[in-house]
């Protein structure tokens, strides 16, 4: 099973990452100090483990690109894409195969706990941590930003597309 070090993706590391990113992106721009203050304000009540909902809301509040932030912040996450149950030349099986794996196989590929998956099946999305949402997305071959938007976005849910292997 893959071992995830949540400390790499916790609130402290996220704050530090965001400040560096925003500082570089808005260097010599009048909104820089406002964005830096907003980071502290938006994260001040967050626990040590960064929730997926807070991660999403902070990115949206700062008007940053969710895909870019996911790609950069979670670039070292060790999760892997689930394999199809059978190796086949059937395109439909190749497309849907990862979705028919067991919870145990998802736990192994993603590195998250089975109790977390059970909570998700009980619609407890507020308890999901940001790194867990990303790990699940990677395991199913979905862009992490799309899964965050699917779980926490306003309006119509985005279409879930599978990332090509």
CA–CA distance, 163 with 165 (Å, rounded to integer): 6
Decide if pLDDT at 72 tops 90.
Answer: yes
pLDDT digits (tens, 9 = 90+) for 103-159: 777 777 788 888 888 888 788 778 889 999 999 888 888 899 999 998 898 877 766
More confident residue, 107 or 96: 107
CA–CA distance, 145 with 68 (Å, rounded to integer): 8
Decide if pLDDT at 87 tops 70.
Answer: no
Nearest in space to 151 (alpha carbons), one of 49, 70, 43, 92: 70
* Band of residue 60 on the pLDDT scale cut at 50, 70, 90: very high
CA–CA distance, 132 with 97 (Å, rounded to integer): 21
Contact call for residues 123 and 43 (beta carbons, < 8 A)? no
Say how many residues make up the chain.
165
């Amino acid at each position: 099973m893959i071992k995830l070090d949540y400390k790499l993706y916790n609130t402290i590391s996220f704050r530090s990452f965001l400040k560096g990113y925003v500082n570089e992106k808005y260097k010599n721009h009048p909104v820089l100090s406002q964005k830096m203050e907003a980071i502290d304000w938006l994260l001040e009540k967050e626990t040590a483990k960064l929730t997926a909902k807070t991660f999403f809301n902070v990115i949206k509040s700062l008007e940053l690109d969710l895909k870019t932030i996911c790609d950069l912040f979670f670039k070292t996450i060790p999760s892997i894409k689930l394999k199809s149950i059978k190796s086949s030349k059937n395109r439909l099986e190749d497309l849907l195969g990862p979705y028919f794996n067991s919870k145990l196989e998802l736990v192994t590929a993603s590195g998250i706990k089975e109790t977390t998956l059970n909570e998700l099946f009980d619609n407890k999305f507020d308890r999901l941590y940001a790194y867990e949402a990303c790990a699940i997305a990677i395991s199913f071959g979905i862009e992490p930003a799309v899964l965050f938007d699917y779980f926490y976005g306003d309006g119509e849910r985005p279409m879930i597309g599978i990332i090509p292997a």
